Amino acid sequence: MSKRYPGVTALDNVSLSFAKGEIHAIMGENGAGKSTLIKIIAGAETPNSGVIETGGRSYGGMKPAEAQNAGISVIYQEFNLAASLSVAENIFMGKRIGKGRFLPDLKEMNRLAAKAMADLGSNIKPETLVFELSTSQQQLVEIAKAIVSNCKVLIMDEPSAAIAVAEVENMFRLVRGLKAKGVTVIYISHRIDEVFGLCDRVSILRDGQYVTTADIEGLTRKDLIRLMVGRELKETYPVHGTRIGGEVLNVKDLTGNGDFHLDLTLRKGEILGIAGLVGAGGARSSPRCCAATLSPFPALWR
């Protein structure tokens, strides 16, 4: 499989195979070609060359409807849900439920949605609007969408990035349950511990090229890092002797829409990380935030 964009080759003659009922990780640094590969498999991108074979058929490039008909579903890092619609409406979006020519059978839709959620061990009501759900619950709805579509291959793009650590094990349980039913799970992640704890095999991409595929049992953490970066790393986080200076930015009592309350200080020469789950408020720090004292110092702009 090859895919070229103006000025860059995203995938260069990459060949991979996935077995029925396995959890297969794809790993690589940013820009390795992982996202391009899964978009091609899902029909969201068209390759310049290459063949996809599944279910006894060959495709020179899939369309989204062909991928869906072949049993391929994708859960992207950014969920593809309509927040103002119900759980049931999201699960069966684009599908005809009931015999009505123009309107779906809402009672039957809700019944089937409740069954799909129950199969995942969830008691979320099908009438619930998606915007009322937590991030982990929305992920369950995405998985339910795949199940009702007779999914044979489920691609999960950084599935743990949007949920709390305490909810990751529940997501693992769901993935293992899909594996037990014969579903192939392609698991995209940067989190090495998750790959070792969940997956059967791992394939490595580097700079758009295929490196290798190996059984997880035969690898160590150092092996995986070396394959991803192409060299031995002696220090994952090397220490630099940068001297930290005085304050260049001070944020006091920053609030916005009731989502957060923040105080922080940034010093010259330091790297200050702001971490949190999706929806924690880090992306909403805009000029519309109110009740804040923001004191920039001239050194910040040099």
| Mean residue pLDDT across the chain | 84
Could you give the CA distance from residue 11 to residue 210 in angstroms, rounded to a whole number?
Answer: 9
Beta bridge partners of 73: 154
Please state the domain extents for the chain.
3-229, 247-301
pTM of the model: 0.75
pLDDT grade for 236, boundaries at 50, 70 and 90: low
179, 184, 172: which is closest to 71 by C-alpha?
184
> Does residue 153 register a pLDDT over 90?
yes
pLDDT at site 290: 40
Topology annotation, domain 3-229: Rossmann fold (3.40.50)
Query: Is residue 269 within 8 Å of residue 244, measured between CB atoms?
Result: yes
Could you give the CA distance from residue 255 to residue 259 in angstroms, rounded to a whole number?
Answer: 7
Share of the chain above pLDDT 70, in %: 86
Least confident range from 28-37, 104-113, 190-199, 275-284: namely: 275-284
**Distance (Å) of CA 302 to CA 55, 118, 273:** 59, 57, 20
pLDDT at site 218: 86
pLDDT at site 280: 64
Could you give the CA distance from residue 141 to residue 90 in angstroms, rounded to a whole number?
Answer: 8
